[in-house]
Amino acid sequence: MPRPLIVMPVGTSLLNNDGGTRTTGELNDFLAKQKAARNNPCVCTSLVPLVTSLWEGLMKGGALARELGFRRQVPRRGGPRDALPQELSYLALWANEKGFDKADVALLASDSQPGRFCACAIYQVLQQHREKPPWSCYCVYQPVTVSGLRVDKGPGDPNPYHAFRKEGIPNLVKHIQTHVRLRSPSQLIINISGGYKGAIPYTTLAAHLLAALDQDIEIAIHYLFEDTEHIIELPIYPIGLDFAAWHREWNLMQAAVRHPEYRPHLHHRVRAVLGEGENQREAWKVEGSVPHLLHQQYRAQRDKDPLQIYSDRVVTHFLPADGNSYQSRLLQLVHGPGTLIWYGDQVPMAAEHAARHHHHLLELAEILLTPLADACVDGQPFLNQAERFVLLAALLLHDCGHTVSALPLGNTGHLIPLFPSEVRDLHHFLAWYRLTQGDASNTIGWDPQAQLAEEVAWLCVYHRARMGWDTIEPDRGREYCPFLGISVPAPLKLMERRQKSGNDDFAQSIDFPKLVALLRIIDGLDIQSHRVGPKPSGEVMQRTLEGQAETARARVRSLLPAAEAVLSTMTCGSHWRSALGFLGSLRKWLDSGGKQPTLDARFWKIRDHLASIAAAEPFSSKGQAAALWTEVARAYDEFCVRHRQFIHFAKHSAVAAVSLLPADDFDPCSRWTFEVTLSPSPEYRTVLDCSAFAQPYRSEMGVSSTLREWIEAEIMAEASDAVLSYLSTASGRCVALGHRPKWDDSA
């Protein structure tokens, strides 16, 4: 069982602390032996009598309480004070304060005769009396001498500064790291009360860097404050490497250690790094040096992307490694394919649907779920382990359908290439396809046969509010995905249908509608400008989409004459007449600026029918006619989907940040109320309530008349009354997201 490790650089207070002015002679024997040891050229010969006297005079019986009692008094100048060495006083006080069962103690001696003497004396006292409280809670290791950690001249070393700075400090840090590696402690405490004061800044800095490198270990810095009983715990702040500076200068740093010509071109903070090492050559390779710790941190950060770092945090937070495979499966997904889950997006997206989007979803999930997940409902946590796995997996995978470019036509072996808007509007169905079909799921290392894999796939289907709650809502004329051959009921009907079909194992361990509700709330909140990038890059994307739209429009014009000529010969069947009629509407739009044709239910019915003909009969006259019509329709679809991206871009650009926080009346036992706050982007702040500005976006805005109203409606649509009501019933609490989002116009 891991236990705390206390690392203590040992000072010489054992030889120098005389206890101040005493009115009694209780210390006479100890002080005499202390003086003899201090004045003895070979202090090691005085170790045994001093250890014996230390125990007899300062710690036997009530003497320990007497010495520590001086620390509890208001110190008086020249008055009596604790005569114990700082190291022993600290250990006694810390044991009394914490009352832990066991802790390891590592003593680090300075590279001097007095330093080694004091460390050995303290070790002997603790070893000889390890059965007696308060020392019985400590397991003390043999002292280790830190080579070079001295202030006196060594043999053949006229300059102690060189040894202290270049050898002693790195060795001190290295010994701390070695103890951590060998002991694997639950907590690392570095006591800086003893030892050389010049080493304290480096020890403190090393503690912060070690904390950044190994976040599984709790690290603290302790200091026994002067002659008092107070142990100051210095906080370990989340500080560390300036990654941008190191990454920016890394190539030049490697060259600078080879040739001084490069040094003037380095930033002055990086030049300081080079000055740490022996002869200024590859200082980051000197184990235990500060540059070495910084370089370790740089490599760790360089090899991880932000999504992976945050995914690790959220997955391990909500899914402990307790024997099931849930945590390892999600971590394998994050560390394996990672952002490649969304590689090959088939839709020209103005708003990013990959790493930035999913990173923010995890942030929102952490805020929403932290007070909810373990809340007790009928003696059970609100979210059991299976539900947490399914929800987190769906958060990461619900948009993976964006990469599917074609679907099989039944069992014919033929593929139906998808239009960009089909990928966009049907990506929830395509996610189901990618996660349930072996060939498609293998690309991301997802096992469709694994436990709860089917539940994850179906939750991805229902992440869109357009899938309804108790009834399906048609989405642009389609309430299903053609070519997949599956029937999809509303979320509340899915369990009933699956049970009727005899699939009693589906979602038996989870409340499926509850997960649908939580996923929709989280996904619907991510509406902010970080998904479209900064304004300059957004403007580049807009101009790119405009150029692509014009290219698609020109392609429609070039293909249209041939398509009209071929389809005019297909006179049999209503589908052919409807197809020719659509081409006529395109002609009017191009030639006379008429109304732009709508991709409605009638269009998609033609598209589905002709796509099947083109795939099944590629060499017949019907198949060729269908293929030509499909090419025209695809070019027009590409034009339309890019126009829709203009609107999509405006919606996300208008909001600079979204925050989700517990409301003032949040109560874990009765009210789960959260507030949504939106910070408008500066360039959109003045037009949020302008109906004229919103005019170009009316086709997507429904009943909203301004950009602000539209954004609010989009967010609240995901947190509908029916969704919140279901969560309230499932939790036994009132669940609310506020009547409407708040706006922080001062941000």
The SS3 assignment for 95 reads: helix
- Band of pLDDT at residue 352, cut at 50, 70 and 90: low
The mean of the pLDDT values for the chain is: 85
Among 302, 320, 340, identify where a domain stops.
Answer: 302
In this structure, of 196-210, 436-450, 569-583, 636-650, the range with the lowest mean pLDDT score is: 636-650
Chain mean position to CA 473: 35
Both 11 and 131 in a single domain? yes
Do 323 and 461 fall into the same domain?
Answer: yes
Q: Which DSSP string corresponds to 206-231?
A: HHHHHHHH-TTSEEEEEEE-TTSS-E
Kindly state the DSSP code that residue 286 receives in the 8-state scheme.
S
Question: In terms of residue numbers, what domain contains 608?
Answer: 535-652
Last residue of a domain, one of 234, 256, 288: 234
Domain membership flag for residue 411: no
**Final residue belonging to a domain, choices 266, 285, 302:** 302
* Residue 530, domain member (yes or no): no
Residue 63 lies in a domain: yes
CA distances from 404 to 525, 578, 601, 645 (A): 25, 28, 22, 19
> Which pLDDT value is given to residue 76?
64
Residue 722 lies in a domain: yes
Nearest to 527 by CA among 690, 663, 404, 357: 357
236-275, pLDDT tens digit by residue?
888 888 888 888 888 888 888 777 788 888 888 888 777 6
Q: Report if residue 415 sits inside a domain.
A: no
100 and 37 within one domain:
yes
Does one domain contain both 646 and 663? no
Residue 298 domain-assigned (yes or no): yes
Torsion of CA 111, 116, 117, 123, to 10 degrees: 160
- What 3-state DSSP class applies to 30? helix
Does 299 or 538 have the greater pLDDT score?
Answer: 299
Q: Are 317 and 366 in contact (CB under 8 A)?
A: yes
Q: Are residues 218 and 258 in the same domain?
A: no
pLDDT at 278 over 70: no
625 and 660 housed in the same domain:
no
Is the domain of 611 the same as that of 645? yes
Per-residue pLDDT band for 501 (boundaries 50, 70, 90) equals low
For residues 45 and 178, state if they share a domain: yes
Please check whether residue 628 lies inside any domain of the structure: yes
Total domains in the fold of the chain: 5
Q: Mind listing the pLDDT tens digit for each residue in 466-480?
A: 788 877 665 544 567
pLDDT reported for residue 44: 60
Tell which residue, 699, 557, 568, has the closest CA to residue 631: 557
Question: Is 412 inside a domain boundary?
Answer: no
Q: Are residues 559 and 519 in the same domain?
A: no
Together in a domain, 131 and 180? yes
Residue 564 pLDDT > 90: yes
Name the pTM for this structure: 0.80
pLDDT band at residue 83, thresholds of 50, 70 and 90?
A: confident
Residues 31 and 132 grouped into a single domain: yes
At residue 167, the 3 state secondary structure works out as helix
Are both 495 and 540 inside the same structural domain?
no
Mapped onto helix, strand or coil, the DSSP state of residue 246 is helix
